[in-house]
Amino acid sequence: SYELTQPPSVSVAPGQTARISCGGNSIRKNTVHWYQQKPGQAPVLVVHDDRDRPSGIPERFSGSNSGNTATLTISRVEAGDEADYYCQVWDTRSDHYVFGTGTKVTVL
C-alpha cells in the first residue's frame, strides 16, 4: 500500500520559515493536500492540489510537489501556526486515500 512519510516534528522561531516534507514514491504523480490540526479540533484544509489555498487561508501557506517529496511551506511563522500538519493523497493505483504520518510544528 502507498505510504506517506513526514518528519515527526519541526521547530521554528517566530517570523522564520517552516518547511514540512511529505515523502512518497513518485508523489509528483499524485495530487497532494495539506491539513492543519490544532489540539482538540478537527483538521482544516490549508493547501489543496499541491499548491492552492482555500479561501481564508493566509498567503503564508504554500505548497510544492516534485519527485518523491511534497512540501508545505509556512512563511513568517506565527504562534498561531503551532499545530499538527498532515499531507494526504488519493492513490490512483489502489483507489484509496492515504494520510501522512503527521508533523508537529512548534513555534519557539
Residues near other proteins (CB under 8 A) are: 1, 30-31, 33, 35, 37, 42-45, 48-49, 54, 86, 88-90, 92, 94-102
- HSE-CB of 34 using CA atoms within 13 angstroms: 29
Residue among 60 and 84 whose Cβ is closer to other proteins: 84
Residue among 15 and 54 whose Cβ is closer to other proteins: 54
First and final C-alpha spacing in the chain: 36
CA distance 65 to 5: 14
CB of 7 to other proteins, least distance (A): 13
Pick the closest to residue 34 from 11, 1, 62, 69 (CA basis). Answer: 62
Residue among 11 and 94 whose Cβ is closer to other proteins: 94
**What's CA 23's distance to the chain center, in Å?**
11
CB of 90 to other proteins, least distance (A): 5
